[in-house]
A and B are shown apart, each in its own frame.
Chain A
Amino acid sequence: MEKKTMLLHGMTCAACAQRIEKTLRKLPGIAQVNVNLASEKLFVDYDEEALTPAEIRDAVAKIGYEAVEPPIVQTVTIPIGGMTCAACSTRVEKALHKLEGVTAASVNLATEKAQVTYDPQSIRLSGVREAITKLGYQPLTVQKHGEADAARVRKQQEIRNLWMKFIFAAVFSFPLLYIAMAPMIGFVRLPFPASLEPMRYPLLFSLVQLMLVLPVMGIGYQFYTIGFRALWQRSPNMDSLIAVGTSAAFLYSLYNVFQIAAGHFAAVDALYFETAGVIITLILLGKTLEAVSKGRTGDAIKKLMGLAPKTATILQNGAEIEIPIEEVEIGDTVLVRPGGKIPVDGLVLEGHTAIDESMLTGESMPVDKHAGDTVYAASINTTGTVRFRAQKVGEDTALAQIIRLVEDAQGSKAPIAKLADVVSGFFVPVVVAIALLAGIAWFIGTGGDVTFSLTIFISVLVIACPCALGLATPTAIMVGTGKGAEHGILVKGGEALETAHKIDTIVLDKTGTITKGKPTVTDVIPVEGYDANTLLAMAASAEIGSEHPLGQAIVAQARERGLALEQAIAFTAITGRGIQATLQAQTILAGNRKLMDENGLSFATLQEVTNALAEEGKTPMFIAVDGKPAGIIAVADVVKPSSQEAIQRLQNMGLQVVMITGDNERTAAAIARKVGITHVLAEVLPQDKASEVKKLQAQGRKVAMVGDGINDAPALAQADIGIAIGSGTDVAIESADIVLMRSDLLDVPTAIQLSKRTIRNIKQNLFWAFGYNVIGIPIAAGVLHLFGGPLLNPMFAAAAMSLSSVSVLTNALRLKRFKPTMKSTKTSEEG
């Protein structure tokens, strides 16, 4: 099964998206199709043996749209040596423009750089360089820009074109509107040329309007080409409504121009050129604002794409070389100085620094990195110089994976969108039918008043806005998932986002989720004759060679305290018991009570302490020196600092919080008490975690499972929402619906909060989109007028229609202001 993403051109409303989906679903070999109106992308899963991308493109083209593979154009910056004057740069620029496959070229003499956009399938970069060389200049090392740049440039170009079109249309529409309306305004005298007075020079008056409306209709030709084609193919879209509405206004006005020419001067009162012109202008304005807002919904992903540096400094034969990031290979030694960005993922070889990973994890505090630690592309080296070996480059870096994840999520649909999808499917034909019926009804009702019924017909067509319906859900999902990514919360799709807001039970894995997942020394209790540090130093020296987590925790604690450790002369690990080690002067026995019992050592004097430690969920390590008890070192997996607050926030959100662990009940209860959990599932074997989740679901609960280990993967998959915590394994992340980049449980309530906000935003959008049409269409059809109320002018209908899409987009963009509520108050969580 092949997955493909294509860019779609020519879509204007939800009906278009629906139509493409419907058409593609009929193709053999199609498994899944999803069209995102907001991002104008097609996501398709298909059997590559049954279908080719060309067939998909053809099917889309047949219904009047264009599906194109993501741009393969590349933009490179080529520093050029040898240019001395403006003539040189002009010459290079001209030569580059002439190259086949080069779509844009601009040479800056001041920076001595050429920026070239080219199609690699038509011309290779070497060809571009060769052309520069042929002119007698020297092309230097190339700087490539990514797809993000190309997409950004394309979007900016589209917005610029729309602005230009709008300005062009407005330049003609404003005088058109003035000429048409000024004579009708009775309460104020507006300057008006006598030579255009409709009662004196009606023909000139109408011809001037005709001349003014034609350029406006010309600049908006796409409404007609797309709209009528869609109508012809029996799947009308928003463009069809605009095309039919404005064409009706234009043709009726044109007919009246001929009437005027024939001496029927009363026809001067029935000119609607300004309606057609202003409608197109306002729709163009709406489209422009929509494009700007749409562009902003994808800001998060653009921000992520822009995070990676363009170049990297690598060490080659001891020399530092700066190369484009695309040229970094696995195994290269990369050097990053303070203030520099990490270019690729890698393993620190040398140096000690603090790295700001906030752009990837949302964690504001820089993370200490030493030799052996992993660094991630796009994070910022803050304090020291580090050298690291490149381990993951290009599409394999964590950043690239995050971008892919977010892109996939943004392209997905939430179940809540289904209603809008269904309505969009038959929206336009229904609107056309309503417009016709209303027009005919008013024609009959007014005793054959063509002008009045035409006004109604046009108003209904123009006010109907399927765009708002189509944009309501995807825009909110795009902003919501993007915002999540900014906070280190990767939501894998619209469905996950929607389900997350419905959950009522949250199951937290203990180890690595509530706790740090690494045992830590909590208590050092020496017997008389030893002090704590001496006991710890001896135990740590004995455990240096141990691979057991408890032993490593003791060594780590001793090192943290700066204690001097000695190398053991002899070391024996006793499976299931502990260790025995010989130091310079002592023999150390460290392990559980069984080990001590087997060696005839009694810790009776410490029995009470031992019991208390067990009660607190701590594991006592008994230490004996030279055959005599020396003390107890307690080790426990400590609770993360934020876990208690996170759990309180979850409880305040009305969620039942359940802890699940393989630990014994006493240890589990101790941890649960600490963090305020009352519902504990203890002694659950890894393979049984999923069935425990299932049991909760069987009680009718919507369950979210939060975990980090491989053993959590089945439970994550079983839960309605699986949340993998960032420090977790790839398998857990793969099985999860939401991935938390940080290892902080506070991100769980934040993720749920984000989900609630996003779904609320979607509901608001849908409410406005539906409400707007449900209210607007009857008003346009003259229902208010029927009861003595006002009649909607088609131009106001067009303005309202344009604003409806923009208002939905603006509402979705409000999500960009989302900030996690940090207070553990009930009201704040729900707000």
Chain B
Amino acid sequence: MLKNQKVIVSMLIGVLVATALIVTVMINTGGQLDTVAVNATESFAQMVNTVPSLLTRDGNGHWNITAPDGSARFILGAEGNYVALAWDAKPFIAAGLAVEKLPDAYTLNGEELVYTMGVAGDGSKEQAGTAALAMQTLTKTMPGAIGYHIPMDHFGVMVGEAGMFEWAQSLETLTDTGEPQEKDIVFVLSPDALIEAGVEPALVEGWVYAPVEVMDGGATLFVEKFLKPFNIA
């Protein structure tokens, strides 16, 4: 009997310790389990506030973050249920791209290739609010699109098969090591569809073709990507 009591008391203590630990952690995060979403939103807001010149709102009311050299844009629907990547098609066409061979999700809009994901909301022109608010909504409507890239200390928004837009958690330093952050924003393009449509990666100008660590179904993989990093701060 005494032994059983001892076991029950031990179990209760264990449960209490576990609960206390979890509660303490949760208090630290303000009750948020999805800390990546919270921090992604915060850092996104910090970024657009730090370099407001990057942020524009297009005719559809979407928020646009444009590369300093104007060669690429990340588009965020004001209602947080639409994202797109748009980039200058010329270097890719020069490298062999046959646009008609791209999947339907890719469109050539003037001199830009555009890839969209999600549905742009009706009347988005009238949508009030900020880019940060749109990002916050996006983390809820498309939680799977948000990610964190440990080696770069970047958050990112996945834009379907096309690639992603990444931004640094801190524009100044890497959170973990304190080293200077030199890649504040990065436009990332997945090369598969482009290569299939005739692009010779080595001939693409203005983009870095390099391996990147990604998570895929739980596995950490290194895959080749087209990268366009910018130090904006």
Contacts and interface: CB of A to CB of B under 8 A. Distances in A.
Contacts of B216: 189
Which 3 pairs of residues, A with B, have the shortest CB-CB distance?
A: A192-B218, A266-B176, A218-B14
Contacts of A267: 176
A203 B25 contact: yes
Contacts of A214: 14, 17-18, 21
Contacts of B146: 200
A263 interface: yes
A422 interface: no
Contact of B175 (A188, A194, A204, A264): A264
Nearest to A196: B218
Interface in A252-299: 254, 257-258, 260-269
B35 A190 contact: no
A189 B221 CA distance: 9
A634 interface: no
9 contacts: A183-B220, A191-B217, A191-B218, A197-B147, A203-B29, A210-B22, A211-B22, A265-B35, A265-B150
Contacts of B22: 207, 210-211
A444 interface: no
A202 B217 contact: no
B44 interface: no
A185 interface: yes
A452 interface: no
Contacts of B215: 183, 197-200
Contact of B11 (A200, A201, A204, A218): A218
B148 interface: yes
B150 A207 contact: no
A186 B148 contact: no
B28 interface: yes
Contact of B29 (A192, A261, A266): A261
Contact of A202 (B24, B148, B169): B148
Contacts of B175: 263-266
B217 A190 contact: yes
A269 B148 CA distance: 13
Contacts of A185: 219-220
Contacts of A204: 33-34
B35 A263 contact: yes
Contacts of B222: 186
Nearest to A269: B150
B36 interface: yes
A260 to B, nearest CB: 7
Given A183-B220, A186-B219, 10 more contacts: A182-B218, A193-B218, A199-B215, A200-B146, A200-B215, A202-B36, A203-B33, A203-B34, A263-B35, A265-B153
B50 interface: no
B21 A200 contact: no
A767 interface: no
Contacts of A190: 217-219
Given A186-B222, A258-B25, A199 B217 contact: no
A201 B153 CA distance: 14
Given A197-B218, A262-B28, A266-B175, A203 B14 contact: no
Chain A contact surface mostly: helix
Contacts of A188: 219
A183 B217 CA distance: 8
A146 interface: no
A122 B216 CA distance: 66
B144 interface: yes
A184 interface: yes
Which of A210, A214, A215 has the most CB atoms of chain B within a 10 A radius of its CB? A214
A221 interface: yes
A392 B69 CA distance: 107
B150 A199 contact: yes
Nearest to A211: B18
Nearest to B35: A203
B39 interface: yes
Contacts of B147: 197, 199-200
A229 to B, nearest CB: 16
A185 B221 CA distance: 9
Contacts of B18: 210-211, 214
B166 to A, nearest CB: 12
Which of B10, B24, B36, B169 has the most CB atoms of chain A within a 10 A radius of its CB? B36
Interface string A110-154: 000000000000000000000000000000000000000000000
A74 to B, nearest CB: 20
A608 B176 CA distance: 111
Contacts of A203: 25, 29, 33-36
Interface string B17-51: 11001101100110001111001000000000000
Interface string A308-336: 00000000000000000000000000000
B17 to A, nearest CB: 7
B228 interface: no
B171 to A, nearest CB: 15
Nearest to A181: B218
B150 A268 contact: yes
B10 A266 contact: no
A278 to B, nearest CB: 18
B149 interface: yes
Nearest to B34: A201
Contacts of B39: 263, 265
Contacts of B36: 199-203, 265
Given A214-B18, A215-B14, A261 B221 contact: no
Contacts of B176: 264, 266-267
Contacts of A260: 35
